[in-house]
Amino acid sequence: METGTILPDDLSTLAKRVIVANVAAGRKVALAESCTGGLVAAALTEVAGSSAVLDRGFVTYSNEAKMESLGVAQDIIETFGAVSIACVWAMAKGALDRSNADVAVAISGVAGPGGGTDLKPVGTVVFARVTRDSEGEPEGELKHFDGKNRAEIRSQATICALELLLP
């Protein structure tokens, strides 16, 4: 049986690297996705054997879902917004706390074409990674992607999230 993929080659290749590296490290991962809408989980599950690595994924597109499914505090969303380091860190922590994973990555952003502001223009995407039993500051990053359209921004965000899952 031929193994094909529904995703672009760059995503499929990187997802395979993530699976192989995490199998070697003995790590399970969890995801909390907003603007990528499950694309990171989809990329991982394109790889045969991904069940050894992917514990679960949460697609929490609405603010209510972030609060209900991941335990993000309402005051975080009201104060900083859903597209903030504070929010994605809480999303990643919530995904880790509600899973059997060793590491969780969260993504939230403005994919466009509308919804951007002066402070958070279209292409603004924030990421966080939380590792179980880690000490110190959480890892978070804000990026500005210059995609021509929504699909390009979401694709670039998916690649960044996959890279964060590499041990």
pLDDT score recorded for residue 2: 54
Burial of 26 (0-12, 13-18, 19+ CB in 10 A): exposed
For residue 139, the surrounding DSSP H or E stretch is: strand 139-144
Interior CA angle at 149 toward 30 and 151, to 5°?
Answer: 35
Note the CATH number of domain 9-165: 3.90.950.20
pLDDT tens, residue order, the chain (167 aa)? 456 788 888 999 999 999 999 999 999 999 999 999 999 999 999 999 999 999 999 999 999 999 999 999 999 999 999 999 999 999 999 999 999 999 999 999 999 999 999 999 999 999 999 999 887 777 899 999 998 899 999 999 999 999 999 99
CA 121 – CA 160 distance, rounded (Å):
18
pLDDT score recorded for residue 147: 81
Q: What is the pTM of this model?
A: 0.95
For residue 95, the surrounding DSSP H or E stretch is: helix 85-97
Q: Are strands 29-33 and 54-59 parallel, antiparallel or unpaired?
A: parallel
Burial of 13 (0-12, 13-18, 19+ CB in 10 A): middle
- Domain segments of the chain: what residues? 9-165
pLDDT score recorded for residue 1: 44
- For the chain, the straight-line distance linking the first and the last C-alpha, in angstroms and rounded, comes to 31
pLDDT score recorded for residue 164: 97
